[in-house]
Chains A and B, each alone.
Chain A
Amino acid sequence: MLKFVVRRLLLLIPVVIGVSIVSFSIMHMIPGDPARIIAGEGATIEDIMSIRTKYGLDRPLIEQYLRFMKGIITNDLRSIRTERPILTELLPRFANTAQLALVSIVISSVIGVTLGIVSAVKRNSWIDTFSMVFSLVGVSMPIFWLGILLIILFAVTLRWLPSGGKGGIEHLILPALTLGLATSAIIARMTRASMLEVLNQDYVRTVVAFGLPRRKVIYKYVLRNAMIPVVTVIGLQFGYLLGGAVLTESVFGWPGLGRFVVDSIFSRDYIAVQVGIMMIATSFVLVNLLVDLVYALIDPRLRRG
């Protein structure tokens, strides 16, 4: 088991290097000169040139990349836009994103798995229809629009919750719910499908024939086996959420990583974009590792692998 974890962690290195090369190339392939954008309206040519030399933007690409990698190792990279050390800039935002992602994945797992189980067990009942309509609406609704509607209802009209910003736990409710609804819809569909598949297995028929109580059959024999694909989906969704939910962050004024990376792309802040993307990639790989460990927890057969 330990060997497995270590091997997976070592695999992180080539993944992150690969991601850095890809993001570096893309950022340099799109047109746009960071010096020009940073210098702003009315800047003189001299201003622009001095910014260019300062950040080594006039050097060959290979040299810029090597400089960048060296900066990562020695930890003295700075955002071009804000001139602050890049980790000081990104880590608090990543923490905010992680907080939001965690709460919304918990919300969506609870709602999604519950709805999925209920609708699989009570197949073709009104509750099944309701939850499948709910998940269809949930998947189709634009997050952006849902967020604004929730703000208008709960913050502007009813005044129950704050309309945005970061603060106490009450500030988390609306953005987490907005993000969670779409995700819970996906999880609900997955849970239902997976449960139905397991319910039709021979061994389930056997344990039912043995006369085991229905509740016990569902929770002990069906759910546990049905959980593997569901955990995969939850893990994937969590990974996406950790990459920052740009729209939700924008609508609720949540100071997360996604919005910052997007703003950095617009201002051609190569450094911030590259480090941000490497951070997102790393967290994605780590979440996948976590998912694999959870598999082993659920299914003893996988523990030996």
Chain B
Amino acid sequence: MRRFLVLLLALLCVVSFAAKYGGTVRFLIGVDVTTLLPGNIPDSISTIVGMHIFEGLVDIDENLRIIPALAESWEILDNGTAYVFHLRRNVKFHDGADFNAYAVKKNFDYLFSANLRNAGQYKGIIKEVQVIDDYTVKIVLFAPNSSILYRLAQSTGWIVSPQAIEKYGSDPALMSKNPVGTGPFMFKEWKAGESVELVKNPNYWRQGLPYLDRIIFRVVAEDVSRVNQVRAGDADFMYNPPPALFAALQQDKSLKVEVVPTVRTIFIGLNTLRPPLSDVRVRQALNYAVDKEKLCRVLMKGLAKPSDSPLSSRTFGYYSTGGYPYNPERARQLLKEAGYENLKLELITPKGRYLNDYETAVAIQGMLKEVGVTVDVKPIEWGSYVSKILSRKPEDWDYQMFLLGWAPGTAEGHQVLFPLFHSSNRMDNPNATMAYNNSFYSNPKVDELIDKIAVETDEKKLLEYFKEAQKLVVQDAPWIFLYEMNIAAVMRKELQGVKIYPTERVSLAEAWIEH
């Protein structure tokens, strides 16, 4: 009898385990994938599709810590200028090619020699990739770099099959349509403007994964339509629903809503070149005058969290500075001290680029009115907007306030502080390497700290530098610090095990459908 029970139990285990396998997930995306050639991927949607096909040497987990992927372990040598990676054995690409040190070298050599769009992420940082033996590679750097592992975890660092490079490497369009990696799913078909279909990789190196047989990424441009398709059961997953529908979705019993904080912050940049915004008191006053709590609660319906640093609280290196709590009295006082009691400013903003971007600008217009600042809000179409606020021509530098979002692809703070606050990256420096400092901010102390952050490999010291830099930037207030975005995902109740990352990535590698 007992033996029978044990058997029954074992059988039940097997059955319930087997029940996890199979099924198709229909995943809705707002625009078509642009390319599936990792070195060329410019957007988050292509990254979400690509991360099911490809893997890098290392990866970032949901807590934004570096974890092993195709490399099992690594050592840092020569004062941080060389990284030796010990590669996972018995891993094959989808086309049957072996994954080994030669594949890694070929991948990086191709990235540089074909001069792919994102090669700049490693240029000037990686000197060369050396094969030590079949399963060991050494990546030699020009100088120590604190963010190199985070950089390798980005889509540009994903390893492409050497056979695929041989076959299609001469043409990026062919590479883009024939993505071959080592990931949990294999590319099947891409119908332009319509859908991308992936099927299970039966030889995936992580035992027992994936559970799903198929993923179909389907393009539906309208967010209301994406919501309706999931509600109608014609699709299983969508993200970024309109906040106005949020409450209704949470009440729908057939759906599940998940909210995850991201590394993206939304801010209003202040052009510090000319008065009145060259006066730090005015900039601080603007910060005190904006009620961020209210913005997040009323306008964003909980899909955002007030920020007190240029870094999101999820970004590596974040330090909570306390920021500028809402204090209109203090704002009025500061403006009075600075001698600007009836201030007029212009705020330019994109419309529809970020969730409620224009609406936020209008709300701030009202809040600033309270402290005697008249704001003229001017929405601009995204393409024109970017060419205005990222212009290298002096005649374009007449803007005053601009609403913008920033999400470091590396998920660590250097990719926030360096492009946006280092004086070498001011728009007026013709030799800038990442010219995004369009508030024309410059503080020698901050520059020094950012330079230290770039090369420090000791985590304790690194976090100390990050902390000091954030405190100084917040004090100088070249931005109105607004909020950190959350990502909201809506899915069918049966869909389990979906991982949503603060980097705006979504993984179905461990997802299954509950029967």
Residues of A at the B interface (CB closer than 8 Å) are 30-33, 36-47, 50-51, 78, 81-85, 88-89, 92-93, 96, 147-148, 151-152, 155-156, 159, 162-166, 249-253, 255-256, 259-260, 263, 265-268
A163 touches B225 (CB 8 A): yes
B193 touches A165 (CB 8 A): no
10 chain-A/chain-B pairs, Cβ below 8 angstroms: A32-B387, A36-B387, A42-B434, A44-B120, A45-B434, A155-B234, A159-B232, A163-B229, A249-B221, A255-B191
Of B170-178, B303-311, B318-326, B444-452, the one touching chain A: B170-178
Name the B residues within 8 Å of A250 (CB-CB). Answer: 221-222, 225
Total of A-B residue pairs, C-beta within 8 Å: 155
A84 touches B176 (CB 8 A): yes
Most-contacted residue by chain A among B31, B226, B229 (CB, 10 A) = B229
Given contacts A165-B234, A253-B220, A266-B382, contact A92 B192 (CB under 8 A): yes
A81 touches B34 (CB 8 A): yes
Name the A residues within 8 Å of B387 (CB-CB). Answer: 31-33, 36
Min CB–CB distance A271 → chain B (angstroms) = 13
Name the A residues within 8 Å of B117 (CB-CB). Answer: 38-39, 43, 47, 50-51
Q: Which of B177, B193, B382 contacts A255 (CB 8 A)?
A: B193
Q: Compute how far the CA of A93 lies from the CA of B381 in the bound complex, rounded to whole angstroms.
A: 25
B433 touches A44 (CB 8 A): yes
A81 closest partner in B (C-beta): B34
Of B103-111, B205-213, B329-337, B401-409, the one touching chain A: B401-409
A32 touches B384 (CB 8 A): yes
Q: Which of B35, B176, B221, B386 contacts A32 (CB 8 A)?
A: B386
B154 closest partner in A (C-beta): A42
Q: Compute how far the CA of A200 lies from the CA of B92 in the bound complex, rounded to whole angstroms.
A: 81
Name the A residues within 8 Å of B432 (CB-CB). Answer: 45
Given contacts A42-B434, A81-B34, contact A255 B194 (CB under 8 A): yes
A161 closest partner in B (C-beta): B232
Across chains A and B, which 8 residue pairs bring their CB atoms closest together, nearest first? A32-B383, A253-B220, A255-B193, A40-B42, A44-B120, A255-B194, A250-B221, A47-B120
Given contacts A81-B34, A253-B220, contact A41 B406 (CB under 8 A): yes
- Considering the complex, which residues of chain B in the window 327-370 have a beta carbon less than 8 Å from any beta carbon of chain A? none
A79 closest partner in B (C-beta): B173
Q: Compute how far the CA of A268 lies from the CA of B386 in the bound complex, rounded to whole angstroms.
A: 12
Min CB–CB distance A188 → chain B (angstroms) = 28
Question: B228 contacts the other chain (Cβ, under 8 Å)?
Answer: yes
Name the A residues within 8 Å of B153 (CB-CB). Answer: none
Name the B residues within 8 Å of A30 (CB-CB). Answer: 383-384
Min CB–CB distance B482 → chain A (angstroms) = 17
Min CB–CB distance A23 → chain B (angstroms) = 16
